[in-house]
Chain A
Amino acid sequence: MTTPLLELKKISVSFEGFLALRDLDLVLNQGDLRAVIGPNGAGKTTFLDVITGKVVPTKGDVIFKEESLIGQKEFRIARKGVGRKFQSPRIFENLSVQENLALAVSRPKTPFSLLIDNLTVKHLDQIQHLMSIVNLQLKANISAGALSHGQKQWLEIAMLVGQDPDLLLVDEPVAGLTDEETDLTADLLKSLAGDHTVLVIDHDMEFIRRLDCPVSVLHQGHVLKEGSMSEIQKDPLVIEVYLGQSEEEE
């Protein structure tokens, strides 16, 4: 059995007494595609904050490539191979699509190198390739702020891939997208899994179903249930805390 890429061990996060995460355990192997769902306030975003170093857990450990990430700075964790896409698209709006991607693919990420080195042909090819994946070649020189919402989401995903992380953490990639865009995003994420390990957080059940991957249900800071989408949907506990609610809403 190979060692897992990412392992969360009994993570607890307390915000002034409020337990956002409670003894959370999660294991991801190399090449996995995993979806995490859960009602609002279940701790989904906090859980990404812990992995990426934005929040230091009160208790527990995060092991990534056999190394603890606790207490490391965000940019170091990013350099180790953890990429994150935020809930609302976060890109550099005043830079062009191409410039956004250039910052993502640049290596090494030191001030001196950015000032002195030119982008290599390899990097330029990579930028072109990324733009073709997300269909933004024609917008290469348009400032990212002028893109549509869906294109911004894709640009952020492309930036993430450009960082070439081992682990991609994707937070609500399809919020505000059209059905067609949602399907394309699902296909994109599925094609990324295998080479990369991908963890997706979302509310959209259709989207999760389309990802066709193991699902973890988060509830009150704890993993309630893990399994395939069809198993999850049959589980009475899950129905009670989550699916039941959303059906009523609909």
Chain B
Amino acid sequence: MSIFSTKKSWINLTIWVLIIALIIAAPSVLPVFRLNLLGRYLSLAIVALGVDLIWGFTGMLSLGQGIFFALGGYCAAMFLQLNSAGEFPNGIPEFFGLYGVEKLPFFWEPFKSSIFTLISIWLLPAIVACILGYLVFRNRIKGVYFSILTQAALLVFFNFFNGQQKLINGTNGLKTDVTQLFGQMVGSEIMQRWFFWVSAVLVILAWFFARWIVRDRFGNILIGIRDDEARVRFTGYNPVIFKTIIFSIAGGLAGISGALYTVQSGIVSPQFMTVPFSIEMVIWVAVGGRGTLLGAILGAVFINYAKSLVSEALPASWMFIQGGLFILVVTALPEGVLGWIRKDGLRKLLFLIGLNKKLETFPSLEVNEQGEVKS
């Protein structure tokens, strides 16, 4: 099979060279507005990597990743709000004044620390995912029931956050663009340029991390759980532990993604926990290529970029295009765009329209490890 894996790594290498070239070129080519959009979409690629791990590899379709995404965003926003609350009455963020709150709610306290914040951005969502996941997986809830349950959990979180004006400014959310960090306004051009770099580096690190997880037998067990969970159990593995771990990792990645997205879009609000947004995350992965980590990144970045370009040109049409794209992928390219390219889709397409010849193969051709053909 080595000829195929060589081809796969060749495709991967090409795509990576292009991505890195684009990332390096982007800050000097793009205006800040566009650069900021690209930075946001790169941060969304991190949550997409998590979705790919739990859905593409492990087969658990979570429609509730928005929970973890928003939690990461709130952690970052709470720190930023506190960091620039000095000049406001009582030394607490401004919005509290609107609701007559004079004392900082207790859970805000630790977010005065930057180190606590940097850890909690990924650890808090991971812990929530761990608890939620363990309870669900222990009871062997899977398939469509798992999807419905995660969506229900999302709605619970959404409604809770929406209603808590006195704690986290409820439906208005927490603004970050007018807060201060390192003596600079977070929404300023120079900070946004920095956040772009941070997002770009973290996407690549997150990819390496995800790659490392699925590289060997751990990843194979995840695929095994997707294909035949009972077999995994009778082979002596406890699927509950593996599912809980991977769901927690996806939660942690979603948290990092949410924090980066928040600082680049200037606000975190319960809108991050709406149902359509969490479903969109799944669409990015489906279009990019389930079970191909790179596909998740490409799907998230390109679909969102297309969304902003299309919405500028034809404001009402994006939902139709997105729906059409999803239907196209599900029916014609079930393995996503990258999965299709890796499976020789381009050559097959060229053949269909008559521009290429079929490869000649011998029916019972077998290839050994060294790539030598055996009869």
Residues of A whose CB lies within 8 Å of any CB of B are 52, 54, 73-75, 78-79, 83-84, 86, 90-96, 99, 102-104, 106, 109-111, 114-115, 118-119, 138-142, 159, 163
Contacts and interface: CB of A to CB of B under 8 A. Distances in A.
B216 interface: yes
Given A52-B234, A94-B227, A102 B369 contact: no
Given A94-B223, A95-B223, A159 B1 contact: no
Interface string B224-248: 1011101101111111011001000
Contact of A92 (B224, B233, B366, B368): B224
Nearest to A106: B217
A103 B221 contact: yes
B218 A138 contact: no
16 contacts: A52-B234, A54-B230, A73-B238, A75-B233, A84-B234, A91-B231, A92-B220, A92-B227, A94-B223, A103-B217, A106-B217, A109-B238, A115-B216, A119-B217, A142-B1, A159-B235
Contacts of A104: 235
A95 B221 CA distance: 10
A75 B236 contact: yes
Contacts of B245: 111
Interface in B89-114: none
B357 interface: no
B213 interface: yes
Contacts of A141: 1-2, 369
A56 B95 CA distance: 57
Nearest to B5: A141
A109 B238 CA distance: 8
Contacts of B239: 75
Contacts of A90: 228, 230-231
B374 interface: yes
Contacts of B223: 92, 94-95
A98 to B, nearest CB: 9
Given A106-B217, A115-B218, A138 B366 contact: yes
Interface of B: 1-2, 213, 216-218, 220-221, 223-224, 226-228, 230-231, 233-239, 241-242, 245, 366, 368-369, 374
Contacts of A110: 241
A233 B89 CA distance: 95
A241 B369 CA distance: 52
A88 to B, nearest CB: 11
A102 B236 contact: no
A194 B1 CA distance: 37
A115 B369 contact: no
Given A114-B218, A114-B221, A74 B234 contact: yes
Instruction: Pick the most buried of B221, B236, B239: most chain A CB atoms within 10 A of its CB.
Output: B236
Contact of B238 (A75, A99, A140): A75
A114 B366 contact: no
B218 A111 contact: yes
B234 A95 contact: no
Given A74-B233, A92-B228, A111-B218, 9 more contacts: A73-B233, A75-B234, A78-B236, A94-B226, A95-B220, A95-B224, A111-B221, A111-B241, A119-B217
Q: Shortest 8 CB-CB distances between A and B: which pairs?
A: A78-B236, A141-B1, A114-B218, A74-B233, A114-B217, A115-B218, A79-B236, A92-B224
B199 to A, nearest CB: 27
A103 B238 contact: no
A202 B231 CA distance: 20
Contacts of A119: 217
B228 A109 contact: no
Contacts of A103: 217, 220-221, 224, 235, 237
A35 to B, nearest CB: 21
Contacts of B238: 73, 75, 109
Contacts of A75: 233-234, 236-239
Nearest to B215: A115
Nearest to B225: A92
Nearest to A156: B231
Contacts of A102: 217, 220
A92 B229 CA distance: 9
Contacts of B217: 99, 102-103, 106, 114, 119
A159 B245 CA distance: 25
Contacts of A84: 234
Given A90-B228, A138-B366, A141-B369, A109 B236 contact: yes
A83 B241 CA distance: 21
Contacts of A138: 366, 368, 374
Contacts of A111: 218, 221, 241-242, 245
A163 B241 contact: no
Given A90-B231, A92-B228, A103-B221, A114 B216 contact: yes
A138 B369 CA distance: 8
Contacts of B366: 138-139
B38 to A, nearest CB: 33
A8 to B, nearest CB: 19
A78 B231 CA distance: 11
Contacts of A83: 234
B348 to A, nearest CB: 18
Contacts of A96: 1
